Amino acid sequence: MDEKTQQKLENQKTLFSNRLKRKIKELKKWARKNKISCYRIYDRDIPEIPVSLDLYEFLPDHIQNKIEAAKYTSQVAERISQNDPTVQNELVLNTYAVIYLYERPYEKDENEEELWFDQMAKTASEVLNIPSSHIVKKERKRQRGTNQYEKDEEKESIYAIKGLTQESGELFNIDLTSYLDTGLFFDHRPLRSIVRESASKKSVLNLFCYTGSFSVYAAEGGAKKVESVDLSNTYLTTAKNNMELNGFSDKNAYIYTRQDCIEFLKEKAVKAKAGELKEDEYYDMIILDPPTFSNSKNTYNVLDINKDWPQLCKDCLNILAPGGVLYFSTNSTKLSFDKSLLPQATVSNKVIMVTDMTESSIPKDFEGTKCHKLWELKIAK
């Protein structure tokens, strides 16, 4: 590396370090106050440093349920308020971070890029005051098919980093190494809270359920029924484990359906149009947060959300009960939402009200980013 390149690297390390210090100071108290133990610290804030950095605080291994977790969290908060000098050292043992390198819009020498990424990870380790072995490096490239959701067998076999984390009182199994994503999308934290606050006595459908975080929040909110649908048996198993981890094991109330969500919706919508859907088969709340693109080998359907969103929303609206609500979200920056492509009323002449919730649904650790778009589609009673 020549002198000019080295100096540029040192300058970027300094910029990155200073930004991390400022963001951590800003977010740490907020996270602790809201019982959030994993959150985003940095998200390509500086154009020449195209990485994101997520912090994860695992619970100690002996904690296995929400009561124990709540007690532990309360004790830690009390010790921090009393300026206990030992508490930070204990927390470091269970603190990890995932740093993602995003694809650059230009070619860069692979060896030079690897060295650069190593230095950014080292800077994060120093600022966070955690061992370099607790920093997991990943690369986010343009996704093809279902690559984003496929297991990295090599990383899993070499060093698996898994643990239990807490978010607003709910527990989740987190896997930092086996997949590109870790099992919990931080940007949907506000929507998860909305679901929990409004799910009481409702029938909830969680489509493309992934690891079941929305299902957990719906169950915590007192939903009478929660159905989680995903094509992946692995994700359904993880969703079920997360539900049971939080005390939700009633087989009659909590259902796990392995099916292509497109086919699932088509079948339900056809029955609804034919008047064959029973009253208790309609849903009061549907969460539709699909991947941007999917061509899984387990189904002949190819999903391109930029083109397919109107039909998916229509099918969801057809199986919503009067007064029901659909939350449709996407992280596609190319999707153009045009409500004229949706019906203004149901077949029973119930008005459909559309509200753009994007701005109010961005959490503090994602402020200033375009992490997702969110719409509420509500059927009048």
Closest to 341 measured CA to CA, from 370, 302, 312 = 312
The H-or-E segment that residue 225 falls in is strand 225-230
The model's pLDDT over 138-148, given as tens digits with 9 standing for 90+, comes to 999 865 544 44
Please give the pLDDT value at position 142.
Answer: 65
Please give the pLDDT value at position 261.
Answer: 97
The model's pLDDT over 167-212, given as tens digits with 9 standing for 90+, comes to 999 999 999 999 999 999 999 999 999 999 999 999 999 999 999 9
Please give the pLDDT value at position 166.
Answer: 94
Q: What are phi and psi of 202, to 5 degrees?
A: -105, 160
Please give the pLDDT value at position 301.
Answer: 82
- What token pair was written down for 30? 């907020």
Whether the predicted pLDDT of 225 surpasses 60: yes
**Residue 350 contacts by C-beta under 8 Å, 6 or more apart in sequence?**
322, 379, 380, 381
